A and B are shown apart, each in its own frame.
Chain A
Amino acid sequence: MADSKLESLLVADCGSVNTKVGLVDWVEGAYRFIGAGTAATTPDDVTLGVRRAVQQVQARTGRRLLTDDGQVITPERVGAQGVDALVALTSAPTPVRVAIVGLAREISVASALRAIHGTYATVVATVALDETGRRWLPLPEQDNGAGVSIAIAPRAQANEPQPDPAALAAETLARANADVIILVGGIDGGATNGLYEIANLVASIVASREENARPLVIFAGNRDARTQIAHRIGSVAELRVVENVRPTMERENPAALQAELEKVYAERKIMFLPGMTELTNMTPTNVISTARAFENVVRFIARLFNLNVLGADIGSGATTLITARGEHFTRIVRADLGVGQNIERVIAHAGMERVRDWIPMEMSADDARVRLLNRAAHPRTIPVTRDEMRLQHAAARVALMTAAREDELDTRGLDLILLTGGALAYNTNLGATALLALDALQPHGVFTLAADAFGLAPAFGALATVNPDAAATVLERDGFVTLGTVIAPISNAREGQVALNVKLKPTAGGVMNLEVHHGSLEIVPLAPGEKASLEVRPAPGVDLGPGRRGIFKAQVEGGALGLIIDARGRPIVLPTDPEKRRAKIQQWYWDIGGEVNYG
């Protein structure tokens, strides 16, 4: 029996469109995942969606979990009725609206922007002093009769002076209606005068608002300016001071600002979600964000198995990428890129043509946009046809690629890639899922690919806060489907040239020798759990990653797809001719088993 007293648990993930609930319990000497249910997230009262999803679990498992009046039964009663506890996580609130005010767009503002992409936040305005004339140049002067004057004429007059870039930028900031203003600028020990000027601007705008409508101000700039910043802003707004996001020209330090924004999201968004007080009363711990919970999962697995892990969560409203290497981790949360209600923003950001680049069938731009607009209007919907799924996966590729490229995701030296999110949930077409990850992230080296089995991986991260044993066991046994081991070299070979010679000796017996050509995608059958000795001889100019020069030998384990050899090179180059491109992508779908449903 486990040490923890909380053995039977419900985990509820209240997403932006779906609320998913999973049931975990101690069964025959181990924690197991028992069943799941999904309901629409209910923005007017988040607990309603949770209860409806629990009702689905109850119907599908036959276990009584709700009282007659619809309340979750806790603690567990005799006869396996109810559960010991419910834990919850959410990404349902709207993102924090952030304005950034800084000295230099390419330096401090850029660092702040990357830090903001670590939580559920959207940038509503950026004001950089260097874009407003740096020295706040004076307005053109105007003769006013009595003497020199710089008075701005009433706006209706024809002789209106040239607009002052500083005042225009300031008006943009005043109109932005941000929840949080982030003030950045200056390396530690550097000049402070410019910072005081922009601090005055922020203070002046904030003080003009009604007290209960004033944004929070976070200062993450030159530490030498803290006292003066506190003096200028602290009296008119709530000011929080964190470490400088750019302490030196060479070093970026986003962690403190990221952590503060995560805290703000919890305090000002999660806790203000209708019904959240009641939900919090039902749970033994605080309700945490989905990104935070997923980070727990990725870091936990990295620590447990001593692996370099990348987790990718493709949701309806947000795309999240977490890496964990030892104790070091990074987190990218793009609250503007999703494949449900935010799908139009993906198109606006990257362009419809980039989405169509990844569709294996002919589909006009209009047809594709109509389907994606309908999905945005009804983001809970499930693709019914193969074409709809291909289109959704193409959009998911672009969302992932955009986040990875713009936020400089490091995919080198990975051992394990975990995939989750609404775009993948309950998808039995595992080859298509694997291809989506390989195309979008284009990792190279030798690594394992795994997909979330029930769309509940982040929820198990929240589970770890009350019962780490249960979380560990369920994640390992039930949480993910291992798709297979992937060998993905970088190569300067030409299409058709031999890139790798692969020898695979399964422990069950037999030997398989394979000559892999550049440009190809191969699957070698190796069943889940089955082990094999792998020997890879790369051709000259073919690179399997750091520390893997010459002949590479390893013990590998199979998966639902087997051993995946992705010899398409990095970056993957798509044919420019649309017909050839579609044929090539279709070929890859066939090669990886993307036309096979495993249900």
Chain B
Amino acid sequence: MANPLIPPLTQARVLPLARIRRERAMSVRGEVLVTMGSRVGALDVVARAASVGHLSPVPLARYMRTTETALSKFLRKQVGDDLVARDVIAEKPELFGALKRAYRAPGNGRITALQGSWLTMDLLDAPFELKAYYRGAVVNIISQRGVIIEATGALVEGVWASGGEAYGGLKKLVDAPGGIVSGDAIDVSARGAILLAGAGVTKDAIERAIQEQAAGLIVGSITPQIKDLLATVALPTLVTEGFGEIPMALPIFELLARHGGEETLINSNTGARPEIFIPALSSTLSGETALPPSTLNSEIGAQVRIVSGPLIGHIGKIADAPEQPQVLESGVSAWGAQVELLTGSQVFVPWENLELIG
């Protein structure tokens, strides 16, 4: 029976084999290119839209130097009409017909609204293609938007990410979870790869990774300077522990290191925690492969990670759940656990500063 004094803790999932379902959908309407039940590869396009849309409102009455009530007389196109760049939308004779004032379409698209003096067009942007990224089976179709894919593989949840999605072969750059990657560790073989670092990366490592066109980066922690740098460059990055210089949690490093060279996805657009997904090789799956449980229980003996304070990033096990709160050095009176660290020592940690890991 569960210990009532132990609250359900959040879990950072580090799963060697999991079956997950992920929605892949576009924000605009388009065409779904795959059918229910079909198998998709990571780089297959599952949906396509002619444009992601670009609403462009213009003060047409003013442009035509007329009033909103008189504007309709000069219109050559109506709401709903398709537009080709430079189509005349409105035309008005001036100087007794000697000259014409015209408003032409600034691009291909469609007139979506004319309200009084303002006209709004939906101009076509670049076509958009949605990739599957999760290699698996299509289990649902979202009409005109996308699909839901069921996929099997290794799953690791991170703490922070930037840059969206990236897919490539996993390239290990360090031998231990505490390793720091600098620029000289990155060479031409980084092209198209997801780089695996340890406790951190230097600024020149980021610059070199971009120069060599790496697909993405997985790292234990980053400094504030690297965080600011990542906001200005195109290198999708996933952080597993936090900020500063924190070694990657050993279970995460060991799991990822085992998959060196395999195709790997990092995704920060999950709506929840960012995640790493490594699709299972078909040779490791046979029929209805039994999967280990994906949810851990908050109980004595459970593996936990400390997510705040001087021991941030440390892993241990819940050894005891004291019945009374304890006053911390900070002055806060908190309920928590006695956690046995890997070193064998025990520390009191508030429940709020712990998460299950595994």
- Chain A residues near B (Cβ < 8 Å): 37-40, 43, 52, 55-56, 58-59, 136, 138-139, 144, 146-155, 164, 166-167, 170-171, 173-175, 196-197, 199-201, 203-205, 207-208, 232, 236, 366, 369-370, 373-375, 377-378, 380-386, 388-389, 425-429, 432, 597, 599
**B102 partner, pick from A43, A151, A201, beta carbons under 8 A:** A151
Q: For B325, list chain A residues within 8 Å (CB).
A: 426
Q: Mark B226-243, 1 if CB is under 8 A from A, else 0.
A: 010000000000000011
Give A375's nearest chain B residue, CB to CB.
Answer: B308
How far, in whole Å, are A220 and B120 apart by their CA atoms in the complex?
24
On whether the beta carbons of A58 and B106 are closer than 8 Å, the reply is no
On whether the beta carbons of B116 and A208 are closer than 8 Å, the reply is no
Q: Mark B309-336, 1 if CB is under 8 A from A, else 0.
A: 1101000000000000101111111100
Q: Which of B59-67, B167-175, B187-195, B206-214 contacts A (4 or more CB under 8 A)?
A: B59-67
On whether the beta carbons of A56 and B7 are closer than 8 Å, the reply is yes
Q: Mark B100-116, 1 if CB is under 8 A from A, else 0.
A: 11111011000011111
Nearest-Cβ distance from residue B353 to partner chain A, whole angstroms: 5
| Given A200-B118, A204-B57, A381 contacting B352 (CB threshold 8 A) | yes
Nearest-Cβ distance from residue B228 to partner chain A, whole angstroms: 10
Q: For A432, list chain B residues within 8 Å (CB).
A: 331
Q: For A382, list chain B residues within 8 Å (CB).
A: 308, 328, 330, 332, 334, 350, 352-353
* Central interface residue in A58, A144, A173, by most chain B CB within 10 Å: A144
| Given A148-B99, A204-B119, A384-B309, A426 contacting B333 (CB threshold 8 A) | yes
On whether the beta carbons of B112 and A381 are closer than 8 Å, the reply is no
How far, in whole Å, are A429 and B331 apart by their CA atoms in the complex?
5
Give B312's nearest chain A residue, CB to CB.
Answer: A374
Nearest-Cβ distance from residue A37 to partner chain B, whole angstroms: 8
Nearest-Cβ distance from residue A215 to partner chain B, whole angstroms: 13
Q: For A166, list chain B residues within 8 Å (CB).
A: 59, 62
**A388 partner, pick from B98, B103, B307, B309, beta carbons under 8 A:** B309
Nearest-Cβ distance from residue B326 to partner chain A, whole angstroms: 9
B94 within 8 A of A: yes
Nearest-Cβ distance from residue A316 to partner chain B, whole angstroms: 11
B255 within 8 A of A: no
Give A171's nearest chain B residue, CB to CB.
Answer: B56
On whether the beta carbons of A208 and B242 are closer than 8 Å, the reply is no
| Given A139-B63, A154-B107, A148 contacting B332 (CB threshold 8 A) | no
Nearest-Cβ distance from residue A596 to partner chain B, whole angstroms: 9
Q: What are 22 sample pairs from A and B whose C-beta atoms fall under 8 A apart?
A: A38-B7, A52-B7, A151-B102, A152-B106, A153-B106, A154-B106, A170-B58, A171-B57, A200-B118, A204-B113, A205-B113, A207-B115, A236-B113, A236-B115, A366-B223, A366-B224, A373-B227, A373-B243, A374-B307, A377-B307, A382-B353, A383-B308
Nearest-Cβ distance from residue A156 to partner chain B, whole angstroms: 9
Give A201's nearest chain B residue, CB to CB.
Answer: B118
B86 within 8 A of A: yes
Nearest-Cβ distance from residue A595 to partner chain B, whole angstroms: 9
Q: For B86, list chain A residues within 8 Å (CB).
A: 151, 154
Q: Is the interface of B mostly helix, strand, loop or mixed?
A: mixed
**B104 partner, pick from A139, A152, A427, beta carbons under 8 A:** A152
How far, in whole Å, are A43 and B270 apart by their CA atoms in the complex?
14
B285 within 8 A of A: no
* Central interface residue in A146, A366, A384, A597, by most chain B CB within 10 Å: A384
On whether the beta carbons of B332 and A208 are closer than 8 Å, the reply is no
How far, in whole Å, are A259 and B101 apart by their CA atoms in the complex?
47
On whether the beta carbons of B329 and A386 are closer than 8 Å, the reply is yes
How far, in whole Å, are A544 and B127 apart by their CA atoms in the complex?
68
| Given A153-B106, A377-B242, A385-B310, A147 contacting B99 (CB threshold 8 A) | yes
Q: For A427, list chain B residues within 8 Å (CB).
A: 330-333
How far, in whole Å, are A232 and B117 apart by their CA atoms in the complex?
11
How far, in whole Å, are A388 and B349 apart by their CA atoms in the complex?
15
Closest 5 CB pairs of A and B: A429-B331, A200-B116, A151-B104, A381-B308, A599-B327
Nearest-Cβ distance from residue A231 to partner chain B, whole angstroms: 10
**B244 partner, pick from A199, A200, A374, beta carbons under 8 A:** A374
**B57 partner, pick from A40, A170, A369, beta carbons under 8 A:** A170
**B59 partner, pick from A59, A201, A207, A384, beta carbons under 8 A:** A201
How far, in whole Å, are A204 and B122 apart by their CA atoms in the complex?
11
On whether the beta carbons of B223 and A370 are closer than 8 Å, the reply is yes
On whether the beta carbons of B55 and A148 are closer than 8 Å, the reply is no
**A203 partner, pick from B116, B244, B308, B333, beta carbons under 8 A:** B116
* Central interface residue in B4, B55, B103, by most chain A CB within 10 Å: B55
Give B106's nearest chain A residue, CB to CB.
Answer: A152
Q: For A175, list chain B residues within 8 Å (CB).
A: 55
Give B110's nearest chain A residue, CB to CB.
Answer: A208
How far, in whole Å, are A340 and B127 apart by their CA atoms in the complex?
39
Interface residues on B, range: 35 or more
Q: For A56, list chain B residues within 8 Å (CB).
A: 7
Q: For B272, list chain A residues within 8 Å (CB).
A: 43
How far, in whole Å, are A537 and B150 apart by their CA atoms in the complex?
77
Q: For A149, list chain B residues within 8 Å (CB).
A: 100-104
Q: For B310, list chain A residues within 8 Å (CB).
A: 384-385
How far, in whole Å, are A369 and B225 apart by their CA atoms in the complex?
10
On whether the beta carbons of B102 and A167 are closer than 8 Å, the reply is no
B159 within 8 A of A: yes
Q: For B242, list chain A residues within 8 Å (CB).
A: 373-374, 377-378
On whether the beta carbons of A232 and B330 are closer than 8 Å, the reply is no
On whether the beta carbons of A429 and B330 are closer than 8 Å, the reply is yes
B128 within 8 A of A: no
Nearest-Cβ distance from residue A467 to partner chain B, whole angstroms: 28
Q: For A147, list chain B residues within 8 Å (CB).
A: 94, 98-102
On whether the beta carbons of A377 and B243 are closer than 8 Å, the reply is yes
On whether the beta carbons of B308 and A378 are closer than 8 Å, the reply is yes
On whether the beta carbons of A374 and B4 are closer than 8 Å, the reply is no
Nearest-Cβ distance from residue B33 to partner chain A, whole angstroms: 22
On whether the beta carbons of A150 and B57 are closer than 8 Å, the reply is no
Nearest-Cβ distance from residue A370 to partner chain B, whole angstroms: 4
**B115 partner, pick from A58, A144, A203, A375, beta carbons under 8 A:** A203
How far, in whole Å, are A70 and B300 apart by their CA atoms in the complex?
21
B74 within 8 A of A: no
How far, in whole Å, are A39 and B329 apart by their CA atoms in the complex?
22
B142 within 8 A of A: no
How far, in whole Å, are A373 and B59 apart by their CA atoms in the complex?
44
On whether the beta carbons of B59 and A150 are closer than 8 Å, the reply is no
How far, in whole Å, are A291 and B353 apart by their CA atoms in the complex?
27
Give B108's nearest chain A residue, CB to CB.
Answer: A154
Give B242's nearest chain A residue, CB to CB.
Answer: A374
Q: For A374, list chain B residues within 8 Å (CB).
A: 242-244, 307-308, 312
**B55 partner, pick from A208, A380, A599, beta carbons under 8 A:** A208
How far, in whole Å, are A175 and B113 apart by their CA atoms in the complex?
16
How far, in whole Å, are A147 and B101 apart by their CA atoms in the complex?
7
Nearest-Cβ distance from residue B173 to partner chain A, whole angstroms: 23
Q: Mark B46-78, 1 if CB is under 8 A from A, else 0.
A: 000000000111110011010010000000000
Give A381's nearest chain B residue, CB to CB.
Answer: B308
Nearest-Cβ distance from residue B243 to partner chain A, whole angstroms: 4
Task: Given contacts A149-B104, A370-B244, list 9 more A-B pairs with CB under 8 A.
Answer: A164-B59, A166-B62, A167-B56, A203-B113, A208-B112, A370-B223, A381-B308, A384-B328, A428-B332
**B243 partner, pick from A58, A171, A236, A370, beta carbons under 8 A:** A370
How far, in whole Å, are A425 and B7 apart by their CA atoms in the complex?
18
Give A228's nearest chain B residue, CB to CB.
Answer: B116
Give A139's nearest chain B residue, CB to CB.
Answer: B63
**A136 partner, pick from B7, B62, B100, B119, beta carbons under 8 A:** B62
Nearest-Cβ distance from residue A19 to partner chain B, whole angstroms: 11
How far, in whole Å, are A173 and B57 apart by their CA atoms in the complex?
9
Q: For B98, list chain A residues within 8 Å (CB).
A: 147
Nearest-Cβ distance from residue B223 to partner chain A, whole angstroms: 7
How far, in whole Å, are A207 and B120 apart by their CA atoms in the complex?
9
How far, in whole Å, are A155 and B334 apart by their CA atoms in the complex?
60
